[in-house]
A and B are shown apart, each in its own frame.
Chain A
Amino acid sequence: MTTAVTARRRSGRSAGPPSAKRASLRLLAHQVRYEQLSFWRNPQSAVFTFIFPVVFVVIMGALFGGVGKSSYFGGLSALQYYVPTIAALSVLGSCYGQLAVALAARRQAGTLKRIRATPLPAWTYFAGLLAHCVLVSVIDIALIVGVGRLYGVPFPSHWLAIMLTLVLGAASFCALGVAVASVISNAEAAPAVAQLVLFPLMFISGTYLPIQSALLNRIAGWLPVRPFNEALTGPFARHAGADWRDLAVLAAWGAVGAVVAVRRFRWDPRPE
């Protein structure tokens, strides 16, 4: 297997620029494959990433399964409200949360430094992480939608808008996750800091309960979580297309995260 990989890479380089692009795509695929392998082999990360959102939907279903359409849930049934917000929560967890914690831990362990010592380009490493996070998010959302169906929530019909929102959200929250990992210096503090930022934000953004305060909704509307909840709830339950304003806010936060990440990211465990 390996010799085949080697031979392919060699011939890929020698054939000139068009296949140089193909070689870097192959390198990206190689990277995604091993990110997947590390992820699925680690029972802890796999269980937490997939079991937690599913359990959450089951609990919400048990609590509110019988609550039909109400103004409290913005004209939706309780589960119609919770399926997209829990889907958003799972994307936050597997992009922002996982990445902030995993990158801080990998830096502290020296894994990042070791990667940096190889010719693997930085963009390939991060693109590999993003692709991995999108993949995990897709599985998460499929599971949540499946469990929601058991409680009578119809399958969403606007898949294109959902995919667009999902990819943009995953990219933005990955960038924010890398940004948080960039500003935290030790791995022990990473989970606490990541949660400290996320938990109140999710609370005021209506992840756990619908927010009835117009002022709070307006404030949260400029922060990253509520726009993502809204942008998913639209195509999930209201049969609307993409919510461009929400997506723009989300993208802006992603850009902020990316700038911080690019400027502050360190591969080396010891500060300069």
Chain B
Amino acid sequence: MRTQVNAVEVSGLRKSYGRVPAVRDVGFTVGYGEIVALLGPNGAGKTTTLEILEGFRTRDGGTAEVLGYDPGERSSARELRERTGLVLQDIAVEPYLTVRETIARAAGYYRAPRGVAEVIGLVGLTGLERRKVRSLSGGQKRRLDLALGLIGNPALLYLDEPTTGFDPAARRDAWQLVRELRTDGMTILLTTHDMEEAQALADRVVLLSGGVVIAAGEPAALGGRDAERARISFRLPAGYTAADLPVPSHSVPSHSVLSYGANGMVVVETGAPTQALHQLTDWAIRHGHVLAGLTVERPSLEDVYLDLTREGAPARAPERNTR
């Protein structure tokens, strides 16, 4: 086996269900110790891609390599399962077993599992060891699912929408755990709809739409959003119109554009937010007004996501992030 740089390598992946193409051309890599998020709307091909890598589905074309093995080869299936962990979307646990029994049962399937008590502690189920699974809350069941993904001490962990149904505090805890796992050297490939989650966790995101990769890179730079213009919005003081504002001044190298947003807000899009903000606040103070609801923001990951995955959006060339 050659030395692997990447835990996962995919290129030109194709898969159709009957005549319906689910994955048309997907390629990406996940380096060892990296957290990569697959993003995309429903039907973009995220789950199919993940299931091909997990060995649950055959591929129609392209190459795939996971930890140096071909997930489509039956001969390597057991070894791959020994070294990968899964957290699936469905909560699938026997209702009548206790938390401890459920994890101990799974532990028995692996060559060198983690300790049951250790994993219970990791996912925050300490104190619930003797509780029947059926009496757990939805969030607790998902933590149990996560425990089942971790019990085999995998080198690579797949998380399919891992924090769906978590309350905000539980979600923060789960993120913290994922970061700790990465610090311990685990490689993590996750899917999510939650842009905040992708932003908080992923070293890189791969944005899928219609079965192809439409953008990839660091969350902060996806779709070139680090270079995008800022938006300054505020409410116009009474008795003024947009024409009274100093912003569309040609003396400032800002190419500012002024428009009306919702609820009577004025939105100034600018490539030079520092100057524009200074002019606006200077104007307001000189006239003895405040700019109510003043905010300055750059397009969020969600804005970029919605923009890129919008129906009929012009296909952008995939951006490869060089690190």
The answer on a CB contact under 8 Å between A118 and B92 is: no
CB of A218 within 8 Å of the partner chain: no
Type the 1/0 row for B3-32, where 1 means its CB is closer than 8 Å to any CB of A.
000000000000001000000000000000
The answer on a CB contact under 8 Å between A114 and B105 is: no
CA distance A38 to B133 in the complex (A): 11
Given A9-B111, A119-B109: A114 touches B88 (CB 8 Å cut-off):
yes
CB of A42 within 8 Å of the partner chain: yes
CA distance A227 to B95 in the complex (A): 37
CA distance A140 to B106 in the complex (A): 29
CB of B278 within 8 Å of the partner chain: no
Closest to A39 in B: B96
The answer on a CB contact under 8 Å between B106 and A118 is: yes
The answer on a CB contact under 8 Å between B93 and A272 is: no
Number of A-B contacts (CB under 8 A): 85
Closest to B47 in A: A270
Closest to A34 in B: B105
Closest to A1 in B: B104
- Chain A: interface residue total (CB-CB under 8 A): 31
Closest to A109 in B: B92
- Set of chain A residues within 8 Å of B96, measured between Cβ atoms: 37-38, 41-42
CA distance A110 to B108 in the complex (A): 20
CB of B115 within 8 Å of the partner chain: yes
The answer on a CB contact under 8 Å between A119 and B108 is: no
CA distance A38 to B112 in the complex (A): 24
CB of B173 within 8 Å of the partner chain: no
Given A111-B94, A117-B54, A117-B81: A5 touches B107 (CB 8 Å cut-off):
yes
CB of B211 within 8 Å of the partner chain: no
Minimum CB–CB distance for A159 against chain B, Å:
33
Minimum CB–CB distance for A117 against chain B, Å:
4
The answer on a CB contact under 8 Å between A27 and B97 is: no
CB of A2 within 8 Å of the partner chain: yes
Given A38-B97, A111-B94, A113-B92: A10 touches B104 (CB 8 Å cut-off):
no
Type the 1/0 row for A39-64, where 1 means its CB is closer than 8 Å to any CB of B.
00110000000000000000000000
CB of A70 within 8 Å of the partner chain: no
CA distance A267 to B56 in the complex (A): 9
Interface residues of B in 105-147 (CB under 8 A from A): 105-113, 115-117, 132
The answer on a CB contact under 8 Å between A116 and B110 is: no
Closest to B112 in A: A10
Size band of the B side of the interface?
35 or more
- Set of chain A residues within 8 Å of B152, measured between Cβ atoms: 118-119
CB of B73 within 8 Å of the partner chain: no
The answer on a CB contact under 8 Å between A2 and B104 is: yes
Q: Which of B56, B86, B132 has the most CB of A within 10 A?
A: B56
CA distance A113 to B90 in the complex (A): 10
Given A2-B115, A118-B106, A119-B81: A34 touches B97 (CB 8 Å cut-off):
yes
Minimum CB–CB distance for A40 against chain B, Å:
8
CB of A154 within 8 Å of the partner chain: no
CB of A243 within 8 Å of the partner chain: no
CA distance A117 to B109 in the complex (A): 10
CB of B101 within 8 Å of the partner chain: yes
Type the 1/0 row for A134-162, where 1 means its CB is closer than 8 Å to any CB of B.
00000000000000000000000000000
CB of A213 within 8 Å of the partner chain: no
CB of A71 within 8 Å of the partner chain: no
Partner of A110, one of B17, B84, B90, B107: B90
The answer on a CB contact under 8 Å between A120 and B56 is: no
CB of A241 within 8 Å of the partner chain: no
Minimum CB–CB distance for A70 against chain B, Å:
46
Given A3-B115, A121-B78, A272-B57: A113 touches B105 (CB 8 Å cut-off):
no
The answer on a CB contact under 8 Å between B107 and A6 is: yes
Minimum CB–CB distance for A46 against chain B, Å:
10
The answer on a CB contact under 8 Å between A34 and B93 is: no
The answer on a CB contact under 8 Å between A13 and B111 is: yes
Interface residues of A in 84-128 (CB under 8 A from B): 109-111, 113-114, 116-121
Type the 1/0 row for A247-272, where 1 means its CB is closer than 8 Å to any CB of B.
00000000000000000000111001
A-B contact pairs, 17 of them (CB 8 A): A2-B107, A2-B116, A3-B115, A5-B107, A10-B112, A31-B108, A111-B93, A113-B56, A114-B92, A114-B93, A117-B81, A118-B81, A118-B110, A118-B152, A119-B110, A267-B56, A268-B51
